[in-house]
Amino acid sequence: MSAVRVGHDVAWVQGASDEPLVAVGRVPDGVPLLLHGSSAQIWVLLAETGDPGEVVDALHEAYDGVARDDIAAAVADFVADLLGRGLVVRDA
C-alpha cells in the first residue's frame, strides 16, 4: 500500500473517551463523519505515519491473535474508502 497523507482541507478531532473516537470532515463543504473503535485507531495512526504498512504492523502488535493478512486487508479497504472520500490523498 502506498503512503497517504491527510488532505489539506480536512479537519479532524479526537474524542476524549475510553473508546477511540475521531470526528473528521472536509472543510468547509464536506460533512463530518464519526469514526470509532478500530477505524478511529487507523485514522490516528495514518495521520501520524502516513504509511499503511506501519499501521498494519502496529495493529498486528496490538491485536494479539488476529492474522496480519486480515488486518492488512481491512486497513487496505478502509484506506480505499478514505481515498474515495478525499479524506486522505496519496503522498507523492
Partner 1 sequence: MAVVEGAEEGPGQVSGSTVDLDLQLRVELTHAAVQAIADLHGLDLLHVKGPALDDSLTHPGRASSDADVLVRPEHVAGLVAALPAHGFRLVTGFSSGSAFEHAANHHSRAWGYVDVHRTFPGVTVAASTAFESLWAVRGCVDLAHRPCPVPHVLDQALLLTLHGARGEGSERGRLDIERAFTSTPVEHQESLRERAAELGATLALAAALDELDQHRDDPAHDLWLYYSRGGTRAQEWRARLKAAPTLRAKARVLGRGVGVNREYLAMELGHEPSRREMAAEFVDRYRTALRSLRPGRRS
Q: Is 33 exposed, middle or buried (0-12, 13-18, 19+ CB in 10 A)?
A: middle
CA separation for the pair 10, 14 (Å, rounded): 13
Supply the minimum distance, in Å, between the C-beta of residue 51 and partner 1.
Answer: 19
- Residues ≥6 apart with Cβ < 8 Å to 2: 52, 90, 91
Within 32-51, the residues that bind partner 1 by CB under 8 A are 32-40, 47
Instruction: Kindly compute the dihedral angle of the four CA atoms of residues 6, 10, 37, 67, in this order, to the nearest 10 degrees.
Output: -20
CA separation for the pair 74, 56 (Å, rounded): 9
- From 3, 21, 44, 89, residue interacting with partner 1 (rule: CB under 8 A): 21
Supply the minimum distance, in Å, between the C-beta of residue 14 and partner 1.
Answer: 8
**Is residue 29 a contact residue for partner 1 (CB under 8 A)?**
yes
Give the count of residues interacting with partner 1 (CB under 8 A): 30
Supply the minimum distance, in Å, between the C-beta of residue 81 and partner 1.
Answer: 6
Q: Provide the binding-site residues for partner 1, judged by CB under 8 A.
A: 6, 9-13, 15, 21, 23, 25, 27-40, 47, 74, 78, 81-82, 85
